[in-house]
Amino acid sequence: MKKLKYIILLVIVLGASCKKLNIPPQNIIQDADVFGSSGGIEAYMARIYSELPIEDFRYSPTRGLNYFWIISPFPAISGEALSRDQTSATQETFNYWGAAYSLIRECNYLTETLPTYSKSYSTAQIANWMGEARFIRGATYFALVKRYGGVPLVDKVLTTPGETIDQVVATINELKIPRASEQAVYDFVATDLDYAYTNLPETNKHGRATKYVAAGFKSRAMLFAGSIAKYNTTTLVDPATSNRVCGIPSTKATAYFQAAYDAAKLLDGKFSLYKKTWAAGDPNAQYLNYVNLFFDATSTENVFVKEYQYPNSVHGYDAYNVPRQLIGANGYSAEVNPTLDLVEMYDGFPKNADGTIKNLDASGNYVLYTNTMDIFANAEPRLRATVILPGDIFKSQSIEIRRGIYTGSSAGGINPLIPVGSTATYPTTNLVTSATATQTAYTLPNGTKMNPAGLSGVFGSDGTCAISGFSVRKWLVPDKPTSEVLENRSDQTWIEMRYAEVLLNRAEAAYELYSAGVTTIDYRTDALTIINQIRDRAGAPLLLGFTSVNDIRKERRKELAFENKTWWDMRRWRVADVEQNGTLYRTLLPFFSADANKYFFDARFDERNRRYTFDPRWYYETIPTAAIAKSTNLIQNPGY
């Protein structure tokens, strides 16, 4: 009996010792968990898509990507708008570097690991996922190269699974990868996007890449590369590798423009300009059509979108940017106020010979209007859909923008309040204004009362108003109740790439090819046809021809205003330092003449005298010094 006890004990001891200890940790998700099921791969995809560097509603140059609090808006550094919280030129300050290489690693990890699980999936599924990973990697390298020039190219996972810290440290010098040439990075982006184009399907789930997204991104990236080759003047060669990390040889420009043109052409016939409710000769229909373009989920113009959904994934665009009189409970409003410089690019209102707005009559006095919208009565519909003009209707309200009431005599005409081109403050005589939204009404000669400033400004010292005389309209949801105009309450879709941009890429590339003397097809006519398609949809008069590439650039700036593209365009054209050279932006401020019972407009420089100077060094951003400290083979960009 006693023996039996020992035998049982022996069995228990032996049995227990059979337990295997060499198993993967149970609390860490293993490759098989992720790549073994399509659900796992979808989750992986969701993560890398969310990290894709898109400058959308949640981006600001000083705060970063995927940031929630966007009160220093991007358009306020490109001359598109003035903002009370972003009052000077700047380069990006958030060091997009580490996050990019994390994302690149995630893409590399997927493309290296997925093939070992390929027997669980169809060929089409594998091609789709591999294509998406390469698309995201290509887009990420593009985000790096447009900021820094040449960056280290990492096309594989640099560590092996299970490597110890000591093993990593032993090979640390191999991990200090020097910068590749700027040209090599653009070529790498092109290769990734070509791979994506070949492998991705024609259609995919909403917000996911298709072959046409890859082609569209390629047209964008190659246009950048061509512009750098043609317009850049900075050179930096890494002596250790002979890589030209800043600048591309000018002889490469034509090949890049050709690649941009060819890539854009791939979308031909697959997408179209949104014209669902557009009607020829009907400005109002054209205006509504242009507003709807940004909100119609079935738009044939959407190439690549980033979707939001309350309450899981949100932004605060409406809260930060509604006109002052529609302010939400968080107390934000009017962060983006379009400059007169932007508005003057559009057509359909009286202009002087130099293109500036004609607010004075032949004898130099103000032109008087019954309503503030009268001067814009025939404005291009696209302008109304992009900018809230003073007195225009938004959310069933007339957006009232007025700087003050002029109480002087109007007999014989009203002289400009300050000399044209002056930066002086307005005189206090004959002028009633309001410092804040708490106003004291002024009694007009006919006995009625009127607040000196409009409900949406302009106030003398409170900046939460239309400080430029305009408020932004693009992207604002036209029927969002004020109770929902809150931070983290907006969920409209960001259209990262729409077909209009691809067409503009194509037109610009075509014109550059024409300028370079390429005559395989009539590129100039092709560019003109495209620009006129866009102008026709916008409700602008058609162009008969081009005087220079600036006609195409101007069209691009109008069409893509407030879509966070303009600043990058100014950089790649290398015009930012010329445009922002001690520059004051202009505003258009409406005044009411109590005597004449009419409105007039004063076009003047930004009252706050905020000057913008783009430092030529900023064409290549500072490589984060922390990155150089970690990887000492990186060389810094010039001037830092």
Partner 1 sequence: MKRILYCTTLCLVLAGSSCKKIDNYAAPAETLTGTVLDAGLGTGVQTEIGSGGTRVKLLETSWSATPTPLYFVGKQDGTFNNTKVFAATYKVSVEGAFVPLVQTDASGATTVDKSQTITLKGTANLTFNVEPFLRIDWVGNPVTNADGTVSVQFKVTRGTTQTAFLSDVTDIFLFISDTQYDGNNNYDPRYSNQVTYAGTTGTALLGTTLTFTTKTALPKSQTYYLRVGARTGYGLKQYNYNAPKAIAIP
Instruction: Determine if 425 is a binding residue for partner 1 (CB under 8 A).
Output: no
Binding partner 1 (rule: CB under 8 A), the pick from 239, 281, 311, 412 is 239
Region from 94-102, 188-196, 448-456, 606-614 binding partner 1, contact rule CB under 8 A: 606-614
Cis peptide before 283 (omega within 30 of 0): no
- DSSP track, 60-116: BTTTBTT-S---S-GGGGTTSEE-SS--S-----S--SHHHHHHHHHHHHHHHHGGG
Binding partner 1 (rule: CB under 8 A), the pick from 155, 549, 611, 624 is 611
Q: In 171-252, where does DSSP find H-type helix?
A: 172-175, 182-199, 211-231
- The answer to whether the CB of 385 falls within 8 A of the CB of 473 is yes
Half-sphere exposure of 117 (CA within 13 A, CB side): 22
Exposed e or buried b per residue across 465-502, where buried means at least 16 C-beta atoms within 10 angstroms of its C-beta:
bbbbbbbbbbbbbeebeeeebbbebbbbbbbbbbbbbb
Region from 85-93, 121-129, 183-191, 236-244 binding partner 1, contact rule CB under 8 A: 236-244
Binding partner 1 (rule: CB under 8 A), the pick from 66, 90, 204, 234 is 234
Nearest Cα to Cα of residue 271 among 309, 219, 224: 219
Closer of 27 and 251 to partner 1 (Cβ): 251
Say which residues have a Cβ less than 8 Å from residue 312's Cβ, sequence separation at least 6.
Answer: none
Binding partner 1 (rule: CB under 8 A), the pick from 243, 468, 505, 622 is 243
Instruction: Determine if 436 is a binding residue for partner 1 (CB under 8 A).
Output: no
Instruction: Determine if 488 is a binding residue for partner 1 (CB under 8 A).
Output: no
Region from 45-53, 445-453, 512-520, 629-637 binding partner 1, contact rule CB under 8 A: 629-637
Instruction: Determine if 244 is a binding residue for partner 1 (CB under 8 A).
Output: yes
Instruction: Determine if 548 is a binding residue for partner 1 (CB under 8 A).
Output: no
Name the minimum Å distance from CB 557 to partner 1.
20
Name the minimum Å distance from CB 491 to partner 1.
42
Region from 112-120, 201-209, 472-480, 624-632 binding partner 1, contact rule CB under 8 A: 624-632
Ramachandran class of 149: left when φ > 0, alpha when ψ lies in -120 to 50, beta otherwise: left
Region from 96-104, 126-134, 345-353, 631-639 binding partner 1, contact rule CB under 8 A: 631-639
Name the minimum Å distance from CB 381 to partner 1.
34
Pairing of strands 397-398, 581-584: unpaired
| Lookup result for tokens 């010329």 | 578
Binding partner 1 (rule: CB under 8 A), the pick from 292, 371, 617, 624 is 617
β-partners of residue 304 are 497
Backbone φ and ψ of 324, nearest 5°:
-55, -40
Region from 202-210, 277-285, 491-499, 577-585 binding partner 1, contact rule CB under 8 A: 577-585
Binding partner 1 (rule: CB under 8 A), the pick from 38, 159, 423, 448 is 423
User: Between residue 581 and residue 600, which ones bind partner 1 under the rule CB under 8 A?
Assistant: 581-582, 584
Instruction: Determine if 241 is a binding residue for partner 1 (CB under 8 A).
Output: yes
Say which residues have a Cβ less than 8 Å from residue 459's Cβ, sequence separation at least 6.
Answer: 433, 434, 435, 436, 437, 453, 465
Nearest Cα to Cα of residue 139 among 96, 174, 93: 96
Closer of 79 and 457 to partner 1 (Cβ): 79
Instruction: Determine if 638 is a binding residue for partner 1 (CB under 8 A).
Output: yes
Binding partner 1 (rule: CB under 8 A), the pick from 387, 609, 626, 627 is 609
Binding partner 1 (rule: CB under 8 A), the pick from 377, 420, 578, 626 is 578
Instruction: Determine if 577 is a binding residue for partner 1 (CB under 8 A).
Output: yes
Region from 330-338, 376-384, 471-479, 612-620 binding partner 1, contact rule CB under 8 A: 612-620
Say which residues have a Cβ less than 8 Å from residue 482's Cβ, sequence separation at least 6.
Answer: 326, 327, 328, 395
Instruction: Determine if 307 is a binding residue for partner 1 (CB under 8 A).
Output: no
β-partners of residue 605 are 586
Nearest Cα to Cα of residue 290 among 299, 177, 217: 299
Task: Give the x-and-dash track for 375-414 against partner 1 (CB under 8 A).
Answer: ----------------------------------------
Binding partner 1 (rule: CB under 8 A), the pick from 56, 192, 238, 559 is 238
**Distance, CA of 18 to CA of 146 (rounded, Å):** 58
Say which residues have a Cβ less than 8 Å from residue 170's Cβ, sequence separation at least 6.
Answer: none
| Lookup result for tokens 């994302």 | 103
Instruction: Determine if 631 is a binding residue for partner 1 (CB under 8 A).
Output: no
Instruction: Determine if 240 is a binding residue for partner 1 (CB under 8 A).
Output: yes
Binding partner 1 (rule: CB under 8 A), the pick from 255, 615, 626, 630 is 615
User: How large is the C-alpha radius of gyration of the chain?
Assistant: 29
Instruction: Determine if 616 is a binding residue for partner 1 (CB under 8 A).
Output: yes
- The answer to whether the CB of 505 falls within 8 A of the CB of 260 is yes
Name the minimum Å distance from CB 615 to partner 1.
7
In the complex, which residues of this chain contact partner 1 (CB under 8 A)? 233-234, 237-244, 423, 577-578, 581-582, 584, 609, 611, 613, 615-617, 628-629, 632-633, 636, 638-639
